[in-house]
Amino acid sequence: MDKRAAFRSWWLPSLFALPQIILILLFFYWPAVAVLRWAFTLEPPFGGAAEFVGFANFKEVFADPLYWNSVGVSLAFALCGTLATIFIGLVLALAVDRQLPGSAPFRFLYILPYAIAGPAAGMAFRFILSPERGLMASVNAAFPDFWNPAKYGSHALILVIVVFAWKWAGYTFIFLLAGLQSVPRSLIEAAAMDGCGPIRRAVDIQIPLLAPTLFFLLVIMMTEGFVGADTYGIVARTTDGGPNHGTDVMVYRIVEEAFRGLNYSGASAQSLVLIGLIMIFTFIQFRFIERQVHYK
Amino acid sequence: MRVSVTTSVFIGLMASVAFGAPAAAAEKTKFEFWYGLSGDLGERVQDACKKFNESQSEFEIVCTSQNGYDTTLQNTIAAYRAKKQPAITQIYDAGTLDMMLSGAFVPAKKLMADNGYTIDWNNYFGGIANYYATAKGELNSFPFNSSTAMFYYNADAFQKAGIDFKPDTWEQVEEAARKLKTAGYECPLAFNFDTWPLMEQFSAIHNQPLATQANGYNGLDAELVVNKTKFVDHVKFFKKMADEKLFVVKTKQLGMDTVPAFTSQTCQMIQTSIADHGTIGKTLPEGVKWEVAMLPVWKGTERQNSLVGGASLWVLAGRPEAEYKGAAAFLAYLATPEMAEWWSTVTGYIPVTKTGFDAMKANGFYDKVPYKGRELAIQSLSFTPTSENTRGIRLGGFTQIRKEFATALEAIFMQNADVQAELDKTVERGNAVLRRFEKTYAGQTLN
């Protein structure tokens, strides 16, 4: 006996699903098909004869050493950004979850940065961490070029990762705190009775039980780091992809190419490659990391 | 494409006949104008629209800011593809070639002739008009907000450092920088990686080409040549000065761009647009003496005219006929001497016509304190008749090429890359952009 609730007719469920289907078709499949078409043609921006050029756009993209540079930068950004975000969120969540006196306001405060738009955060950090005028100016005065994101690509990359982590740590914090609250109190209390300190309890009990949440955040944050609107916004407002392509992440490159360069074809080819890369990464994550995750 | 444009015009006409006919006598013709200026300058455009609407009762212009030059171009493209384009749009200098090849516009000359306006096209300053004109010199769009790069220096600091000459040549700039440094000024000259003054204007006034085919005017097969001109020596000179800490890099990434560096008196000399003249005057503390001058040249150079920057107004194809009457009326209104003077006064942009300039000169505009010095921009723009190297820049994907060069300068000045090698590499990358542009517009020729 099938216990699932089932509709008797086919049209009623279709009707319920229709709005969602229309939205997906309109805002996902249609643009995706347009990008696909664009990637294989060369068309003047104002329209006109779209000439089919086969894989020429892709060849051009792959032949460009700066493209591979941007793939590397994106990887470094997404990986470091994700790890930093999850680590900070986890530490904050563990601290708040201990419910020490006065921890309630922090629960609220830690979420706040998530409410700020990425470009705005980027703009603020550009000033706060600018080498000649910001917080580091006095350090730079004593040790020249100790911190100079306008000069060193590595510093610039750290800068954009800091902004990204600052903003998104609030997001991971919410999920991790919710996860922690579902860890049975009795387990933690028992461990405490046995003389485990907070760190030991976190490592041996809470983090293993958080594995599904951590895995979910890993996938989400990696995707966000690669293609998120914030990633573009932060880079555009802080470093402009510089110095000398030091923070030229893939999304930044695509938007620049499409809208400043009016090279829709090349940008479409790049986005298809990016979509492919994300599929591969997500696959790897599910294939190799999810195996270590126990849901029950 | 051509068919669908005519069809849409036809449908538009039908619609206006069907719905507009009964009320036509009382109803004003509405048309749209998109512009890229924002903030204070955007407000001034709104003022201009309001003035036009109040000056007559036949048309109503609806002006919308798209918040930025590049977004205006993008939105215009998107709207044109969706057949919802405005009648008039403001496109910046670097987007000129994209517009010219689009076939999506009504040439300025044709528009005015069709609607019964006689415009003296020779009234426009050659240095301004040629940027937006065909190779034959016929204007496609209307020069609107125009500027050029100038040299600003802090006269008080010059006096304190005992400098008794004007920095007309780069040799003098170097001497002034050394004297300022000796007098204790940490940052004699500030510069950033904006290629507009450093590369484009420098090349024009020194009669150096940026690219073959008369900077692209004679064909889409132009190739960049800046890695073989005086520009290379100029960058090397800047590099040497930067190494001696006489010229200092000031970018927003470092904390302060060149204009704030100048107005906060951190730095004593900068190159920037005449459009910043108003801001500089307003921001510098009262009593500080400062001067504006034409960009310096190397000693022994025969100075040529500088290039115009800013944007022009394009009338887009595919709108109902009635809107073109309104668009023509609006553009004719902007060209009246009174409006030209009003626009230059409230913004700092330069007048684009000779009669506009003469009228302003005659009523003493340029002798008044906050505006004094702005006439030098006109002098710089019309220093010589335009030649192959000074007519303008007609290169495809020029926004991207600019960015490539800005990155090269970043590598040279921030990361000590070799000047010649870096410029060679950049020219190669820029040429790739040009070739792709040529391929995108295969079969089209410049007229």
Is the same domain home to B186 and B264?
A: yes
Residue B387 lies in a domain: no
| Contact (Cβ atoms closer than 8 angstroms) between residue A39 and residue A254 | no
CA angle (B418 as vertex; B437, A129 as ends), nearest 5: 85
- For B258, residues 6+ apart whose C-beta sits below 8 A from its C-beta are B190, B191, B192, B250, B267, B270, B271, B272
Q: Give the whole-angstrom CA distance, residue A11 versus residue A3.
A: 21
Tell if the CB–CB gap between B251 and A265 is shorter than 8 Å. no
Question: Taking Cα atoms as reference points, which of A166, A138, A186 lies closest to residue A234?
Answer: A166
- For A163, residues 6+ apart whose C-beta sits below 8 A from its C-beta are A118, A121, A122, A125, A234, A238
The minimum CA-CA distance between A85 and chain B, rounded to whole Å, is 24
Residue A289 has what pLDDT? 81
Residue A193 has what pLDDT? 92
> How many other β-carbons are positioned within 10 Å of the β-carbon of residue B421?
13
Is the same domain home to B280 and B313?
A: no
| Contact (Cβ atoms closer than 8 angstroms) between residue B185 and residue B161 | yes
A130 touches chain B (CB under 8 A): yes
Examine the pLDDT at B6 and tell me if it is beyond 80.
Answer: no
Is the same domain home to B302 and B335?
A: no
Alpha carbon distance, N-terminus to C-terminus of chain B: 20
List C-alpha distances in Å: B231 to B148, B197, B348, B389.
Answer: 19, 11, 29, 13
Which residues of chain B have a CB within 8 Å of the CB of A46?
77, 80-81, 98, 102-104
Is the same domain home to B296 and B313?
A: no
DSSP annotation of B285 reads: P
Residue B227 has what pLDDT? 96
Q: Which residue has the tokens 């003035």?
A: B51
Phi and psi torsions of B269, nearest 5°? -140, 140
Q: Which residue from B74, B103, B253 is facing A150, i.e. has the nearest CB?
A: B253
Rg (CA), chain B: 23
Q: What count of residues does chain B have?
A: 447
Please state the rounded mean pLDDT for residues B126-146. Answer: 87
Is the same domain home to B284 and B316?
A: no
Which residues of chain A have a CB within 8 Å of the CB of B104?
46
Residue A49 has what pLDDT? 76
Residue A16 Cα to chain centre, angstroms: 32
CATH number of the domain where residue B214 is located? 3.40.190.10
CATH number of the domain where residue A150 is located? 1.10.3720.10
- For B114, residues 6+ apart whose C-beta sits below 8 A from its C-beta are B324, B328
Confidence of residue B213 (pLDDT cuts 50, 70, 90): very high
Residue A112 lies in a domain: yes
Residue A259 has what pLDDT? 86
Closest residue in B to A140 (Cα) is B254
Residue A95 lies in a domain: yes
Residue B330 has what pLDDT? 95
**pLDDT tens digits, residue range B390-433?**
989 999 889 899 999 999 999 999 999 999 999 999 999 999 99
Count of domains in chain A? 1
> Pick the residue with more confidence: B311 or B3?
B311
Please state the rounded mean pLDDT for residues B332-336. Answer: 89
Residue A248: which domain range? Answer: 65-292
Tell if the CB–CB gap between B253 and A51 is shorter than 8 Å. no
Is the same domain home to B178 and B79?
A: no
Question: Taking Cα atoms as reference points, which of B253, B193, B256 lies closest to residue A159?
Answer: B253
Residue B211: which domain range? Answer: 149-306+396-440
List C-alpha distances in Å: B62 to B50, B65, B78.
Answer: 9, 10, 19
The minimum CA-CA distance between A240 and chain B, rounded to whole Å, is 9
Residue B384 lies in a domain: no
* The one-letter amino acid at B117: Y
| Contact (Cβ atoms closer than 8 angstroms) between residue B272 and residue B152 | yes
Phi and psi torsions of B270, nearest 5°? -145, 160
Is the same domain home to B301 and B314?
A: no
Q: Give the whole-angstrom CA distance, residue B83 versus residue B106.
A: 15
A140-144, B15-19, B378-382, range with greatest mean pLDDT: B378-382
Element (H, E) at B414: helix B398-415
Examine the pLDDT at B16 and tell me if it is beyond 80.
Answer: no
The first and second tokens of residue B318, run together, are 């595919």
Rg (CA), chain A: 23
Phi and psi torsions of A228, nearest 5°? -60, 145
Question: Taking Cα atoms as reference points, which of A221, A234, A243, A263 lies closest to residue A251?
Answer: A234
Residue A132 has what pLDDT? 87
**pLDDT tens digits, residue range A227-240?**
888 899 999 999 98
Residue A28 lies in a domain: no
Please state the rounded mean pLDDT for residues B216-244. Answer: 95
Residue A254 lies in a domain: yes
Residue B300 has what pLDDT? 93
Confidence of residue B15 (pLDDT cuts 50, 70, 90): very low
Q: Give the whole-angstrom CA distance, residue B403 versus residue B193.
A: 9
Is the same domain home to B120 and B48?
A: yes
Q: What percent of chain B has pLDDT over 90?
A: 64
Tell if the CB–CB gap between A244 and B414 is shorter than 8 Å. yes
Ranges assigned E (strand) in A18-150: 41-42, 51-52
* The one-letter amino acid at B410: E
Closest residue in B to A51 (Cα) is B440
> How many other β-carbons are positioned within 10 Å of the β-carbon of residue B287?
6
Residue A180 lies in a domain: yes
Please state the rounded mean pLDDT for residues B250-259. Answer: 91
Examine the pLDDT at B269 and tell me if it is beyond 70.
Answer: yes
Q: Is B330 left (phi over 0), alpha (psi -120 to 50) or beta?
A: alpha
CA angle (B133 as vertex; B113, B151 as ends), nearest 5: 130
Q: Is B119 left (phi over 0), alpha (psi -120 to 50) or beta?
A: beta
Tell if the CB–CB gap between A47 and B81 is shorter than 8 Å. yes
CA angle (B120 as vertex; B117, B122 as ends), nearest 5: 150
Count of domains in chain B? 2
Q: Following DSSP, what letter does each residue of B119-142 receive, concatenated?
A: --GGGB-HHHHHHHB-TTS-BSSE
Environment class of residue A10 by beta-carbon count within 10 Å: exposed (0-12), middle (13-18) or buried (19+)? Answer: exposed
Element (H, E) at A292: none
Confidence of residue B10 (pLDDT cuts 50, 70, 90): very low
Confidence of residue B282 (pLDDT cuts 50, 70, 90): confident
pTM of the full structure: 0.87
Residue A273 lies in a domain: yes
Examine the pLDDT at B2 and tell me if it is beyond 60.
Answer: no
Task: Using CA atoms of A252, A253, A256, A257 in order, give the dihedral in degrees to the nearest 10.
Answer: -150
Residue B344 lies in a domain: yes
Please state the rounded mean pLDDT for residues A18-43. Answer: 91
A154 touches chain B (CB under 8 A): no
A2-11, A268-277, B240-249, range with greatest mean pLDDT: B240-249
The minimum CA-CA distance between A295 and chain B, rounded to whole Å, is 46
SS3 state of residue B239: helix
Residue B389 lies in a domain: no
Which residues 14-53 of A have a C-beta within 8 angstroms of B? 42-49, 51
Residue A138 lies in a domain: yes
Residue B241 lies in a domain: yes
The minimum CA-CA distance between B168 and chain A, rounded to whole Å, is 31
Q: Give the whole-angstrom CA distance, residue A238 versus residue A231.
A: 11
The first and second tokens of residue B352, run together, are 């684009």
Is the same domain home to B107 and B155?
A: no
B421 touches chain A (CB under 8 A): no
Buried b (16+ CB within 10 A) or exposed e, A120-157: ebbbebbeebbbbebebeeebeeeeeebbbbbbbebbb
Which residues of chain B have a CB within 8 Å of the CB of A134?
255
Question: Taking Cα atoms as reference points, which of A171, A179, A160, A162 lies closest to residue A86?
Answer: A171
Question: Most A CBs within 10 Å: which of B66, B253, B258, B439, as the mutation test of the A interface?
Answer: B253
Q: Which residue from B249, B254, B441 is facing A130, i.e. has the nearest CB?
A: B254
* The one-letter amino acid at B441: Y
Residue B276 lies in a domain: yes
